[in-house]
Structure 1
């Protein structure tokens, strides 16, 4: 096992974090462009949301197939296949200016991204000691945050000053260089994965994970948490380029710097787990996220930014705890368990986009807040159920 603060710990952590950075740069490259592309293609906010939802939805659909594949051929091979597909698929976006084909290309990108996303945490869970894993998961999710920030700002700035095609080309070049670096740095697994079941048995393993309520409720918490987080940012982007703000896309995309507070909170997970329970942390993270949304309802740009920072802090804290919890609670086939978590995570993110952009189109920010409040109520309910099951071990019906 790789111990905390060993040379191997830093080497593996850095390689996986950088790979994660590339993945989330590619996944969210198009998010700040949505208001501009909605005008370019003369479609509504809900329709243009498919450019973001296609990637997250296909990512969710491919997580389990990639996870099962990694159980058979090994985690490391899947990680590399996924990373080297990114520049190739990214460049296919340049072949068309048709919205439908562009959405399809983003769907293909999501399928490629799923390979790295499904396997990286399971790789760490197998290779690291418990202490090393609890710290590494925070660093990994911090890299998720930094990748999301960088991809969005990168896409917004280049689209504003050049065009969306330039942003895609530059991201493809960065992805190719990054994939080569990860391939050179990431060592072979000291404890390579061994298939815990035949391919025909994996449907039983999936249902086994879903029947484990300690895992199931954490999946629901992570999914709805993400639906709120990522789509409140999407709606805020539309809000800031509209009246009375009329901000250019390059400036509006800077709101994603507020993700940095999430980078900080995800690194605090290891400390929290030494003193308190993860379930309690999920509850408080959600409460902080709700507070952030309420603060961001202000008309002041400064206060909106403060609210987004609070929102990011709470959302990433909840996600880090729920994500790590699922991997640790799985008795076997950890890659499949974490993939199931991310299926909930990204499908919820995709559906939440249509839900909140619909609220924005038909009722403005007031309806967005009302719709979001219903989802926050659901997360609190799931936290309560997970707490009850964890502490009383009652069978959930």
Structure 2
């Protein structure tokens, strides 16, 4: 098993973090470009949002097939196939000449990205010791946030100074280089055990098993609502900042994604939190922090908006890290399928939440967004309290003496 502070741990975590980074760079490259693409194709912002929703939906709908395939082929081959397909999907986007074909190409990109995303945490759960696992998951999710920041800022700045085609071409080349580095660094799996007599029918039965397990189902739903709020609050904030009275240029608006850095920090802290406190306590605290950020963002001052985004990011990534780790830990079998099921809800939440919050923005501006988001936060709180009774460590934590 790969343990903390070993050469294998450093190589594996670097490779997994790099793979995670390129996945999220690609996934969110178009998020700041939604208003630009709406103008270019003469469609509404809600329709142009299909470019973001297509990739997240394509990813969500193929996570489970990839995970089921990995139960038969193994985690390592699936991750390598996935990374090899990403630059090819980027080429397909580059060759698109209308909105419909671009949406289809973005959906295919989501399919390619899903392979790595579906099984990376399962690989860690099988190859890392328990102590190393929580730290590795925190590092992996930190790379998620860094990739999301970089992809969005890169897309916004490059498209403003050149065009969206340049951004897509450069990202495809970057993805190819990263895939080669991951292949060179990531240790091959040595603890993967193929499910005895595994089949698609058996995989479907395992999915049903997971869905009937309230310990897993509640965490899966929390993850979906969390991401529905988080990623789309940034989308509507971008729309808010390019409109009067701010009227900021696209390049400047894309810099709001630097606020993701607070999420990078909080996802790393989640591993340390779990050593002394319970997961459900962390889920409640993270939800409260994120919700507080939405209220602070109600103020018109840019400083308040930035503080609000920092809190939204830190709370959302803290919740995501804990819920994701909970699912991988509490799945007694077919861990890749369990974590993929979590990600299905996570990314479907991101896709559907965009249409909800953008509609709220178009109907009633930020007060409408506030009303829609508070409804989702209320549902999250209810599920967190329901999950409490399944937390085996739900007790007053014993603080370690110095």
Which of the five TM-score ranges fits, normalised by the shorter chain?
A: over 0.9
Q: Does 2:140 correspond to 1:143?
A: no
- The equivalent of 1:250 in structure 2 is 251
- The equivalent of 2:85 in structure 1 is 85
Structure 1 contact 262–312 (Cα < 8 Å) conserved:
yes
> Following TM superposition, by how much is the alpha carbon of 1:89 offset from its aligned partner in structure 2, in angstroms?
0.8
- The equivalent of 1:119 in structure 2 is 119
- The equivalent of 2:347 in structure 1 is 346
Structure 1 contact 18–178 (Cα < 8 Å) conserved:
yes
Distance in structure 2 (CA, Å) of the matches to 1:288 and 1:312: 9
Moved more, 337-346 or 87-96: 87-96
Distance in structure 2 (CA, Å) of the matches to 1:248 and 1:101: 27
In the superposition, relative to structure 1, how do residues 309 and 242 fare at CA in structure 2: closer, same or farther (>3 Å)? same
- The equivalent of 2:167 in structure 1 is 167
Distance in structure 2 (CA, Å) of the matches to 1:364 and 1:42: 22
> SS state of the match for residue 26, structure 1?
helix
> Following TM superposition, by how much is the alpha carbon of 1:93 offset from its aligned partner in structure 2, in angstroms?
1.2
- The equivalent of 1:104 in structure 2 is 104
Distance in structure 2 (CA, Å) of the matches to 1:321 and 1:33: 31
> Following TM superposition, by how much is the alpha carbon of 1:96 offset from its aligned partner in structure 2, in angstroms?
2.3
Deviations 1:37-80 (A, max 9, x none): 11111111211110000000110000000001111111111111
Structure 2 contact 138–271 (Cα < 8 Å) conserved:
yes
In the superposition, relative to structure 1, how do residues 365 and 4 fare at CA in structure 2: closer, same or farther (>3 Å)? same
> Following TM superposition, by how much is the alpha carbon of 1:392 offset from its aligned partner in structure 2, in angstroms?
12
Structure 2 contact 27–110 (Cα < 8 Å) conserved:
yes
Within-5 A mapping of 1:1-397: 1-199=1-199, 200-390=201-391
Moved more, 186-195 or 175-184: 186-195
> Following TM superposition, by how much is the alpha carbon of 1:391 offset from its aligned partner in structure 2, in angstroms?
6.3
Distance in structure 2 (CA, Å) of the matches to 1:326 and 1:268: 18
Structure 1 contact 196–333 (Cα < 8 Å) conserved:
no
> Following TM superposition, by how much is the alpha carbon of 1:190 offset from its aligned partner in structure 2, in angstroms?
2.2
> Following TM superposition, by how much is the alpha carbon of 1:8 offset from its aligned partner in structure 2, in angstroms?
0.7
- The equivalent of 2:400 in structure 1 is none
Structure 1 contact 196–332 (Cα < 8 Å) conserved:
no
- The equivalent of 2:397 in structure 1 is none
TM (norm. structure 1) is 0.97
List structure 1 runs of 4+ shifted beyond 6 angstroms: none
Moved more, 331-340 or 4-13: 4-13
> Following TM superposition, by how much is the alpha carbon of 1:91 offset from its aligned partner in structure 2, in angstroms?
1.1
Structure 2 contact 59–112 (Cα < 8 Å) conserved:
yes
Moved more, 35-44 or 62-71: 35-44
> Following TM superposition, by how much is the alpha carbon of 1:211 offset from its aligned partner in structure 2, in angstroms?
1.0
In the superposition, relative to structure 1, how do residues 132 and 92 fare at CA in structure 2: closer, same or farther (>3 Å)? same
> Following TM superposition, by how much is the alpha carbon of 1:308 offset from its aligned partner in structure 2, in angstroms?
0.2
Structure 1 contact 135–267 (Cα < 8 Å) conserved:
yes
> Following TM superposition, by how much is the alpha carbon of 1:203 offset from its aligned partner in structure 2, in angstroms?
1.3
> SS state of the match for residue 268, structure 1?
helix
TM (norm. structure 2) is 0.96
Distance in structure 2 (CA, Å) of the matches to 1:146 and 1:389: 32
> SS state of the match for residue 97, structure 1?
coil
Structure 1 contact 20–143 (Cα < 8 Å) conserved:
yes
Structure 1 contact 258–312 (Cα < 8 Å) conserved:
yes
Deviations 1:190-226 (A, max 9, x none): 2134225521211111111111111110001111000
Distance in structure 2 (CA, Å) of the matches to 1:97 and 1:261: 37
**5+ long unaligned stretches in structure 1:** none
Distance in structure 2 (CA, Å) of the matches to 1:196 and 1:222: 30
In the superposition, relative to structure 1, how do residues 196 and 288 fare at CA in structure 2: closer, same or farther (>3 Å)? farther
> SS state of the match for residue 374, structure 2?
helix
> Following TM superposition, by how much is the alpha carbon of 1:335 offset from its aligned partner in structure 2, in angstroms?
0.2
Moved more, 324-333 or 204-213: 204-213
Distance in structure 2 (CA, Å) of the matches to 1:193 and 1:120: 15
Structure 1 contact 289–311 (Cα < 8 Å) conserved:
yes
